[in-house]
Structure 1
């Protein structure tokens, strides 16, 4: 059994080796990369990404990244392609091959068929002088000195390099398309990520009760209002406008200072100019305000009028936090 120190040393060496290889990739980005990006951007078709073995697995991830950032992409396994799947390639599609060596048998069989169909071809390969590198229109160089595998056999550093090239391709296309956070939300409606991109404050505050009192409301009635609405806070409102806030903390501080509070009203203990947020703001913006000021509730306004309360528990419940 290996010692813990030995395991940690191997892990660090693996990470350092791959990080150095990734850093070296930036020196390999050239005009072919820029031309490939422009080709895909101007294409009327889709991006078909193909590979075999571990490269095929990387291809599926790059396809997913492209689809989620506005570039339609389809995965085609190289082995399946030469057994019937070539039919999914349409006239205007751009085909991207992923292969470390550029000389795998399946790739060498597949390339001539794609070339005969006159589809534009791009290679992500570690060997630009390979059969693949010589046949495609553009080569995205993913060369690495060695694999992280001590035998220099298992695809490790090379697949990391392929993945990074694919990510760089996707981000360049994202910028060319002017792909915004709103666009991103359309493709990611589910889960916490989607909610951060589309959920608005009013979506949360509208389902809460709406605690409010006037300046002359007695402390007894303030306590009842806060207790009944169960948000730990009440807005002090006059003519629909927020003029103050009373929190559980304000009540506790009052009780520690005042012996007889029968004559005390909301205006005597309220905090003026409370933090507030517009109903149409993003829920994630409410979270940022709460974190910045160390508070757990925000009063909500709509067209300048009091519209309710958003609580930190609402954000937690929806997975924003």
Structure 2
């Protein structure tokens, strides 16, 4: 077998093994899982997620997911906890302790300390009969038959299972809280994801110049307006209302049909009933209109009055596309 074939085969086998193990997790979602979700949902404190080794890395990811979906959470390293960081845990906090074996030395030291504080302890483990499994108030079972590692040693499938259970927990809480896309935007203001959730047409038009002519404007002047405003388009306005649009395409068609443009007015070459979008519309929705109609620009309106132009290039520059 060629080296490339061996690599491809190993990769596919790894994915298949992990996919099978993840699908099997559905069998462990039970009343205890539901009770754990309810405890967190009704808690007046935060969720403190702890673990050691690879489980600590997964704990950090679960904390990030919970925070981003409206459940205040904080990470506490299990080793650091028993050397001073246990003060992170406050009276009303719920603690999730992650450990595949549930029997590591740090976990055995940490668990009784948390129990002494009378905090609710949720164990996320692959071994319900472990020390963690028996001491936790609620157990989230993330058992996997074997690791994807051929030696069944390196945490691979087991850490994936931990993360999936964490995601299931977060999504259940999200649904219970009625967490909406607007809520999501508050926690994700940066990057393209955030912009898709909060950037509006008015934010785009504010960056652009506002090309406009009247129906009686001569074509030469309309060409100058299009060129100077650098959006490849101008609105045709009559009594503050949009009655048409002149695009680069309209100009090309005009030049094809007329060798002499003397006497031509904007109203003679404009396209009527142009597509428009309200200023308060999300930019990502404006993109949908542009793509659906296979156009490059949209005219924006506010209370029916022309407000500016949204160009496809604006949306690309903002990372919406």
Which residue in 2 is equivalent to 1:176?
A: 176
Instruction: Tell me how far 1:269 sits from its aligned partner.
Output: 1.5
Which residue in 1 is equivalent to 2:81?
A: 81
Report the CA distance shift for 1:85/1:195 in structure 2 as closer, same or farther (over 3 A).
same
CA distance in 1, matches of 2:20, 2:153: 18
TM-score (normalizing by structure 1): 0.98
Of stretches 143-152 and 220-229 in structure 1, the one that deviates more from structure 2 is 220-229
Which residue in 2 is equivalent to 1:133?
A: 133
The total of aligned residue pairs comes to 321
CA distance in 2, matches of 1:242, 1:13: 60
Q: How does 1:276-291 map to 2 (within 5 A)?
A: 276-291=276-291
**Secondary structure of 2:313's match?**
helix
Which residue in 2 is equivalent to 1:120?
A: 120
Q: How does 1:75-224 map to 2 (within 5 A)?
A: 75-224=75-224
Partner deviation per Cα, 1:208-254 (whole Å, 9 max, x = no partner): 11111111211111111111111000111111111111101101011
**Secondary structure of 1:122's match?**
strand
Please list every run of 5 or more consecutive structure 2 residues that lacks an aligned counterpart in the other structure.
none
CA distance in 1, matches of 2:135, 2:207: 61
Which residue in 2 is equivalent to 1:38?
A: 38
Report the CA distance shift for 1:287/1:87 in structure 2 as closer, same or farther (over 3 A).
same
CA distance in 1, matches of 2:159, 2:299: 50
Instruction: Tell me how far 1:2 sits from its aligned partner.
Output: 6.3
Instruction: Tell me how far 1:131 sits from its aligned partner.
Output: 1.2
**Secondary structure of 1:123's match?**
strand
Question: Runs in 1 of length 4+ with deviation above 4 angstroms?
Answer: none
Of stretches 159-168 and 122-131 in structure 1, the one that deviates more from structure 2 is 122-131
TM-score (normalizing by structure 2): 0.98
Instruction: Tell me how far 1:278 sits from its aligned partner.
Output: 0.5
Partner deviation per Cα, 1:26-51 (whole Å, 9 max, x = no partner): 11100111111110010000001111
CA distance in 1, matches of 2:57, 2:187: 22
